[in-house]
Chains A and B, each alone.
Chain A
Amino acid sequence: MSDNGPFRLSRGGRLIDRAYQLPFRFDGRQMRGVQGDTIASALLANGQLMMGRSFKYHRPRGPVASGAEEPNALLGLGQGGRFEPNQRATTTPLVGGMVTTSQNCWPSLNFDIGAVNNKLYRFLPAGFYYKTFIHPRPAWKHLFEPIIRRSAGLGKAPTEGDLDTYEQAYGHADLVVVGGGIAGLTAALEAGRTGKTVTLLEQTPQFGGRTPTDHADGQARIDALLAELHALPNVTLRRNTMATGLYDHGYLIAREALADHDPNAGIPRQRLWRIRAGHVVVASGALERPLSFAGNDVPGVILASAVRDFVDLYGVAPGRNLVVVTNNDDAYRTALTALDAGLAVAAVIDARPTAQGALPEAVRARGVRVLTGSAVAGIKGGQAVEGVKLCAHSGSGDVTEVIAADCVAMSGGWSPVVHLWSHCGGKLSWSEDRAMFYPDLARPPTGADGAAMATPLGAAAGDLTVAEVTGAVAEQPLLPVWVMPVNATRKMKFKMWLDFQNDVKVSDVELAAQEGYQSVEHTKRYTTLGMATDQGKVSNINGLAVLSKALNQPIPATGTTTFRPPYTPLTLGTIGAEARGELFQPLRKTDIHGWHESNGAFFEPVGHWRRPYCYPKAGESHHDAVAREIRAVRASVGTLDASTLGKIIVKGPDAGKFLDMMYTGLMSTLPVGKCRYGLICNENGFLVDDGVAARLSEDTWLVHTTTGGADRMHAHMEDWLQCEWWDWKVYTANVTEQWSQVAVVGPKARVLLERLGGTIDLSAEALPFMGWAEGEIAGIPARIFRISFSGELSFEVAVPAKRGREFWEKLHEAGRDLGITPYGTEAMHIMRAEKGFIMIGDETDGTVIPQDLGMSWAISKKKPDYIGKRAQERSFMSSPERWKLVGLESVDGRVLPDGVYAVAEGSNANGQRNTQGRVTSTYMSPTLNRPIAMGLVLHGPNRMGEVLEFPVQGAETYKARIVDPVFYDKEGSRANG
């Protein structure tokens, strides 16, 4: 017994350094591991075999594996903002000071209330949940659900924000090799020598895979390969990097652990790699299968390879007195490793009738009992192994002897890791001799060129033994063993675990088959086999073999469930990478944004832009601020940052013809120096954008779009120009970002602008409504458009974008005595509604045509064609039954809720009240001091004065009178100043 833990061996452990001790805590208890340990090996060294409890029955659970396939040893790691549940103890390197906690147990790991489920296993069979969903219903709601909710679940979700950071990186390589074992390293070297760019990904902290442990010269061979590989500059070897999935066209996602092992490193914890691979070599190895014998889930029953790993890699004894249970030669290596480490091997129980290979002979030569044709009838012990009940494999489990042991090393053979091969469509074949699914080279996943984009290699290809890779000792064939012993009783099958985490047993799969489940995918859902966090790495093949037997069909006829990424679970933070906090999404800011911020603007998102909604003063509500802004604009002058409006230059000999196709109205006839409002529809006839176009010169127009429409409308134009009218001579340019635009609005707007001085005559004569002019104002080059979205005298001033704030500040400086007021989007919305102007997205929803909005005046009758014209000729587009735009005047002074429907007589086929209209915009008008609204109403324009009813749940029915939608300044005189 060493001071590195009672189960730490005095020698051996190729990955650990006994000199560096690492203290850590497990469930509050202080323990010690050493440098190089995983959490699992450190816990084992401390004699802590039990590491958790299973999902359904809360059975005690110890590690069954030593790597990524581990279903049992899942722990909570860290604390507070660095707490993470469900971390695999077998793959997580131990870090000094680590705090670890067991999961799924209460009040403690050793005494768990939920384990009472264990006594109820006869009443919680496969499909239990589904059955209780159906009958009896009250039992589910009042009895089962509360109990299950309390006891189900593994780790607890973190309650604090993640303190760690993450990043991503794009990679490119001619060849990506997944797996740093001997097969992968060899492939990387071969490809590297040809000059190809090669990236090799190894999920663990060390290269070599099983070879150093399983082969006499293993480490030397790996070291030699690595030495050659390191000399090749075109080869990149990445450790701690798990390939999570392979996708279309050679797109491979991998996760590199950077500071998992050192939370204080000050660098991102993990990096998500997005690699474009010319070709992928899948050298991901194989996973050992458990054997299905009664009691195979008792802590201390461990995969033979894992026992070997714990001893050889970490110098830890999972037990002092082992029994090996196997159906193949490979597991004999575990006996040899154990003997070499000074542990006792009580017996090797081999299901095969004979075992004459080199490995069994070597074990016999060491004086170990080799019991062929034998099987395990059961395990003595509950929370730990005390002994193994021996029986004949061919029988039904009559116990012939009980062999004392504290650890069982089991091996049911190996399954190639075919996940990456399968993720993107690679198919599998079944090998009868080897009892495994392996990649079918004739049906590979294919890439952009139609050829195979991946090649399996080594154990992942089904070349399972080290011998096949290195040419070392030959092994004798295995005997497929799916249930042990062959004629096990029903009672024994109740104790044969397939899925250790989800508590799915041989009896459950047989029950599913008996109840009619034939598809492996259905059986998976019904029994939850393979749905645990290990995604069936340990359980799937055994499970579908049992299902096949129960269905009396060969295994390939049953097939496998679908392999889906990720190979092992990914933290969401890793997928999000840099997109957190300030970088969560790009925020678009105008040049004037900083001024808005320092002047107390309350922002609202408009697409990715942030626009001031209003500028509340200290103690002022948003509602009051908006009302104040509107009154100031209508009484004197206000400014709106309109920089976000889309601005597209359209130029060329055919630009007029083109714009006549884009707009419903005529743009080709617009005189130079003038502006015109226009509507843009899609080919389906529906209104998608609106705005003012200005003719800059004989062959150049400047098109204004909505804020949200800028990129969309530019793409729309380019689509038609490139794909339909490619011989038209038109160039477009989206210059939205080139200009800051400020709407200077109100009766004092002209007075204010004139104070700034410049070269542009702002008089009504020189610059009339819907005119524009170019020159300089306040020493800044500018275009000024006399357009109005508020009904007031209004100048929209465009200046080079990076001088926007300068211009804005000059305005505010000059307008102080006029009470110049910045106003936001809400004031803009209300003022346009007061004028009955439509808003794309309020009055339109993708199903509204201009004719619905009383805007036939904006549709040219002369033009033979425009985008949307043919669609608008369809009979239902001209139907008088379409809802049309009207104003709505609240009868009782209450503001109508947005989006509410007006009801009509009768009800529809679903028993719902018929409707005859809905509210599209609704506000309290500060100008008129009463509510105003617009809506789309059946026969609306012909029903002026009628009162509609708008029932709202939980409130008195709203009533509103149909009126003209222009509520303010119907003559439109104010815009003329």
Chain B
Amino acid sequence: MLTLTCPYCGNAAEETELAPGGEAHLKRFGPGSSDEQFEDYLFARKNPKGVHFERWRHAYGCGKWFLAARDTVTLEVFGTYKAQTPNPTPEIVAAVQAKRPNWTPDWTSTPATTTSAESLTE
């Protein structure tokens, strides 16, 4: 059973205090998107063997959704980070690559800069 540290309250919470939320960093496609885009968004999941980014909610704690970078095979946790980012942060990428040198990001855009909500959660 996993233990993950919530990046909002800083508490290490065990899995029973958390609610899982599936793959992280999905880009929402709404009205106006193509069938293919919408299908990808709603149904296509990476389900990788190895490095994975996923959503968790500190449901029995501070109530915040956060993201975790984890190895789906060994359950090694590379880091947890706040949900208000479209892609894993440079720190998380570095933490993953420190342990998995052969892993490379599969996204191209750079993470957005600090958002307005960020200040609420510092």
Q: How far is the CB of A964 from chain B (nearest CB, A)?
A: 32
> Number of B interface residues, CB 8 Å?
32
CA distance A247 to B14 in the complex (A): 12
CA distance A727 to B71 in the complex (A): 30
Q: Are B63 and A251 in contact (CB under 8 A)?
A: no
Q: Are B74 and A450 in contact (CB under 8 A)?
A: yes
| Chain A residues in 8 Å Cβ range of B1 | 247-249, 251
Q: How far is the CB of A421 from chain B (nearest CB, A)?
A: 16
Q: Find A719's partner among B30, B33, B57 (CB 8 Å cutoff).
A: B57
Q: Find A248's partner among B28, B75, B117 (CB 8 Å cutoff).
A: B75
Residue of B nearest to A682 (CB): B42
B46 beta carbon closer than 8 Å to chain A:
no
Mark B24-67 against chain A: 1 for CB-CB distance below 8 A, else 0. Answer: 00001111110100100010000000000001010100011100
Q: How far is the CB of A653 from chain B (nearest CB, A)?
A: 12
Q: Are B35 and A248 in contact (CB under 8 A)?
A: no
| Chain B residues in 8 Å Cβ range of A684 | 42
Q: Are A870 and B55 in contact (CB under 8 A)?
A: no
CA distance A359 to B30 in the complex (A): 81
A718 beta carbon closer than 8 Å to chain B:
yes
Q: How far is the CB of B80 from chain A (nearest CB, A)?
A: 11
| Chain B residues in 8 Å Cβ range of A425 | 74
Q: Are B31 and A249 in contact (CB under 8 A)?
A: no
A865 beta carbon closer than 8 Å to chain B:
yes
Given A448-B3, A727-B115, answer yes or no on A683-B42 (Cβ-Cβ < 8 Å): yes
Q: Find B63's partner among A247, A718, A871 (CB 8 Å cutoff).
A: A718
Residue of B nearest to A867 (CB): B30
Q: Are B64 and A249 in contact (CB under 8 A)?
A: no
| Chain A residues in 8 Å Cβ range of B76 | 446-450
CA distance A814 to B76 in the complex (A): 65
| Chain B residues in 8 Å Cβ range of A276 | 3, 14
CA distance A870 to B34 in the complex (A): 10
| Chain A residues in 8 Å Cβ range of B71 | 450
Add 11 more A-B contacts to A251-B14, A448-B75, A726-B84 (CB < 8 A): A249-B2, A449-B77, A718-B57, A723-B65, A865-B30, A869-B31, A870-B29, A870-B30, A870-B38, A871-B42, A873-B31
| Chain A residues in 8 Å Cβ range of B77 | 448-449
Given A248-B2, A446-B74, answer yes or no on A874-B35 (Cβ-Cβ < 8 Å): yes
B109 beta carbon closer than 8 Å to chain A:
no
CA distance A446 to B3 in the complex (A): 13
Mark A704-729 against chain B: 1 for CB-CB distance below 8 A, else 0. Answer: 00000000000100110011101100
Residue of A nearest to B117 (CB): A726
Q: Are A722 and B38 in contact (CB under 8 A)?
A: no
Residue of B nearest to A720 (CB): B28
Mark A865-903 against chain B: 1 for CB-CB distance below 8 A, else 0. Answer: 100011101100000000000000000000000000000
| Chain A residues in 8 Å Cβ range of B115 | 726-727
Q: Are A723 and B14 in contact (CB under 8 A)?
A: no
Residue of B nearest to A685 (CB): B42
CA distance A580 to B31 in the complex (A): 50
Q: How far is the CB of B7 from chain A (nearest CB, A)?
A: 12
Contacting residues of chain B (1-29) with chain A, CB-CB under 8 angstroms: 1-3, 14, 19, 21, 28-29
Contacting residues of chain A (721-751) with chain B, CB-CB under 8 angstroms: 722-724, 726-727
Q: Are A249 and B19 in contact (CB under 8 A)?
A: no
CA distance A249 to B5 in the complex (A): 12
Q: Are A448 and B57 in contact (CB under 8 A)?
A: no
Given A450-B99, A727-B117, answer yes or no on A249-B29 (Cβ-Cβ < 8 Å): no
Q: Are A724 and B99 in contact (CB under 8 A)?
A: no
Binding site for B on A (CB under 8 A): 247-251, 276, 425, 446-450, 683-684, 715, 718-719, 722-724, 726-727, 864-865, 869-871, 873-874
18 intermolecular pairs with C-beta atoms under 8 Å apart? A248-B1, A248-B2, A250-B3, A251-B14, A446-B74, A448-B75, A684-B42, A722-B117, A723-B84, A724-B28, A865-B30, A869-B30, A870-B31, A870-B33, A870-B38, A871-B38, A871-B42, A874-B35
CA distance A870 to B28 in the complex (A): 11
Q: Are B83 and A249 in contact (CB under 8 A)?
A: no
Given A715-B59, A865-B31, A871-B38, answer yes or no on A727-B116 (Cβ-Cβ < 8 Å): yes
CA distance A873 to B28 in the complex (A): 15
| Chain B residues in 8 Å Cβ range of A870 | 29-33, 38
Q: How far is the CB of B77 from chain A (nearest CB, A)?
A: 5
Residue of A nearest to B24 (CB): A723
CA distance A726 to B8 in the complex (A): 14
Mark B66-98 against chain A: 1 for CB-CB distance below 8 A, else 0. Answer: 000001001111000001100000000000000
| Chain A residues in 8 Å Cβ range of B3 | 249-251, 276, 448
| Chain B residues in 8 Å Cβ range of A449 | 76-77
Residue of A nearest to B64 (CB): A722
| Chain B residues in 8 Å Cβ range of A247 | 1
8 pairs of A and B residues whose beta carbons are closest in the complex: A726-B117, A450-B76, A727-B116, A726-B84, A722-B65, A448-B77, A251-B1, A249-B3
Q: Are A864 and B31 in contact (CB under 8 A)?
A: yes
| Chain A residues in 8 Å Cβ range of B84 | 722-723, 726
CA distance A870 to B57 in the complex (A): 26
Q: How far is the CB of B35 from chain A (nearest CB, A)?
A: 7
| Chain A residues in 8 Å Cβ range of B19 | 715
| Chain A residues in 8 Å Cβ range of B38 | 870-871, 874
Residue of A nearest to B28 (CB): A724
Q: How far is the CB of B116 from chain A (nearest CB, A)?
A: 4
Q: How far is the CB of B29 from chain A (nearest CB, A)?
A: 7
| Chain A residues in 8 Å Cβ range of B63 | 718
Q: How far is the CB of A871 from chain B (nearest CB, A)?
A: 7
| Chain B residues in 8 Å Cβ range of A869 | 30-31
Residue of B nearest to A251 (CB): B1
CA distance A446 to B75 in the complex (A): 8
Residue of A nearest to B33 (CB): A870
Q: How far is the CB of A579 from chain B (nearest CB, A)?
A: 13
Q: Find B21's partner among A250, A719, A727, A864 (CB 8 Å cutoff).
A: A719
Given A247-B1, A249-B1, A249-B3, answer yes or no on A718-B65 (Cβ-Cβ < 8 Å): yes
Q: Are B74 and A719 in contact (CB under 8 A)?
A: no
| Chain A residues in 8 Å Cβ range of B35 | 874
CA distance A450 to B50 in the complex (A): 13
CA distance A727 to B55 in the complex (A): 19
Residue of A nearest to B65 (CB): A722
| Chain B residues in 8 Å Cβ range of A448 | 2-3, 75-77
Residue of B nearest to A425 (CB): B74
Q: Are B75 and A723 in contact (CB under 8 A)?
A: no
CA distance A683 to B83 in the complex (A): 19
| Chain B residues in 8 Å Cβ range of A249 | 1-3, 75
Q: How far is the CB of B62 from chain A (nearest CB, A)?
A: 11
| Chain A residues in 8 Å Cβ range of B14 | 251, 276
| Chain B residues in 8 Å Cβ range of A683 | 42
Given A249-B3, A448-B3, A727-B117, answer yes or no on A719-B65 (Cβ-Cβ < 8 Å): yes
| Chain A residues in 8 Å Cβ range of B64 | 722
CA distance A727 to B33 in the complex (A): 23
| Chain B residues in 8 Å Cβ range of A864 | 31
| Chain A residues in 8 Å Cβ range of B55 | 723
CA distance A248 to B73 in the complex (A): 11
CA distance A484 to B15 in the complex (A): 51
Q: How far is the CB of A544 from chain B (nearest CB, A)?
A: 26
CA distance A248 to B55 in the complex (A): 19
CA distance A448 to B57 in the complex (A): 18
Residue of A nearest to B100 (CB): A450
Q: Are B83 and A726 in contact (CB under 8 A)?
A: yes
Residue of B nearest to A864 (CB): B31
| Chain B residues in 8 Å Cβ range of A718 | 57, 63, 65
| Chain A residues in 8 Å Cβ range of B33 | 870
Q: How far is the CB of B25 from chain A (nearest CB, A)?
A: 10
Residue of B nearest to A724 (CB): B28
Given A871-B38, A874-B35, answer yes or no on A722-B30 (Cβ-Cβ < 8 Å): no
Q: How far is the CB of A926 from chain B (nearest CB, A)?
A: 42
Q: How far is the CB of B65 from chain A (nearest CB, A)?
A: 5
Residue of B nearest to A726 (CB): B117
| Chain A residues in 8 Å Cβ range of B75 | 248-249, 446, 448
